[in-house]
Structure 1
Amino acid sequence: MATLPRPFLRMAVGLFAALVLTACGSESGPDDTSGADPSDTASAEASDVPSESAPTETETETSPPPSSSSASSAPSTTTEAPVTSPVDDLFLTADEMPGLNDITVWTDAGTKPEGSDPFGDCAKFSLVDSGADEAWIRTFEADGNQRAAQLIATFADDKSAWRVEQVLRGWHRDCAAQLNADVEQVNPLQAAQVSAGKSFTYLLQFGQKDAQDHHFNGVAVNRVGSRLSIVLIDNQGQDYNYEPGQEPAQQAARAVAEKLG
């Protein structure tokens, strides 16, 4: 789950952001369950919370061309000196980060500014370069092939955060091309039942064709007001079986909503 650096020119990023904002302003459809830009009020956020009977969001699974790499792009979990961020209290703690099984014990591996590297296997740009005022990343590690990370980004207003949420949905649609692996499966978006804001999750599976173990990377995206959170929970193994709603990413989405709400 190592970071995949993809440097780019800021002029190109500016053009990309402009095109994305134009597209998001006119886009509607199954990707956006809210159906409209959010207002800047708390009551508008509350109306975004899915009902208990909200259907699972659907996306058409992409069948990508085969390639050779199987590395996941969640940030490295090398332990660093403690850093205090303006959003320290909003991050999940090691105890709050959902485990992949009952014996997972996470350790906080440090917090740092996002930088320019994209966060996650589907990302094309950093969130700071996509319009965030600031973004911070906290990484976690555990025994074996388990790693996790959370990014929290702050935007100028609720609408800016909503627009970048739409960008993240677009990156999910294009994710197969980003994975660059022999076996690639990008599962559909699923709405998460959360106490505040909006949230969706999805699972990535990828690796070498003849490998016994593949990466299973669960992703949870939360938007509450002018903040976005992305949680990545990655495991390299042979299977990934959970009851509906109990997947690590779904558990993370609920926990993040409690912290950001």
Structure 2
Amino acid sequence: MVPNHLTFFVLNHVALFPEENWPQEIVVNGSVLMAGKKMSKSMGNIIPLRDAVRKHGADPIRLTILISAELLQDADFNVEAINGIKNKLESMYENSTKTKAEEIPELEPEDKWILSMLQNLALNVSQSMDKIRFREALHHILYDFDSELQWYLKRTKSKQRTNISGILHKILSSRVLMLSPFAPHIAEEIWEKLGNSELASKSAWPSSIGIEIDSKSIQTETLLKSIIDDINNILKVTKISPKN
């Protein structure tokens, strides 16, 4: 009897499969910690999986573990982080109930910019996935794009635009498809709310959203943000209130 799991794994494949199906490489993940300490029954710092899923849901548990560390690192499981993940997923779900798949109008400069940033997001997530850097991919999907989205909403609000629902729908749809491999349950719920009949898991991975990156719009928005930041910093230092 072979007591070693690794040897047993290799011998089983050699005995059952032809050589082309033998293992090519093995990846070993790190340990799962609880608040920086190794999980141990004797220490009483473990959470039974069934209890965790029953209390928080499968998707938040999966995402909390994945986003806490890369594959070869020790994952530090944090109960507080679960609540942050749940709030993020609930926010995406709520947005899906307000977003309609309306026709996208002729693109304004800020539209070209946000869609270019969405294309960059798709490329970055795809590259992270190819490198098996799942924590990095999740950060791109859940957090890194938020500042761009908030800037876009600020820009469109300043112009009193009311025709951006189609673009917001495209943005959320793309992010949900990227989220699907990590949080399949909530992704399917949001995907259906967005008006799709086919499952998100059966839809094409958005490695490209069909939009060419507009370098000019990126440069323009970057310059505009820089100018506004400079003005705000000057006002803060000089304590001058702008006149109407």
Q: Which has the higher helix share?
A: 2
Query: TM bucket by the smaller chain?
Result: under 0.3
TM-score, normalisation: structure 2: 0.22
Which of 1 and 2 has higher RCO (CA within 8 Å, sep 6+)? 1
Considering fraction of residues, name the structure with more strand.
1
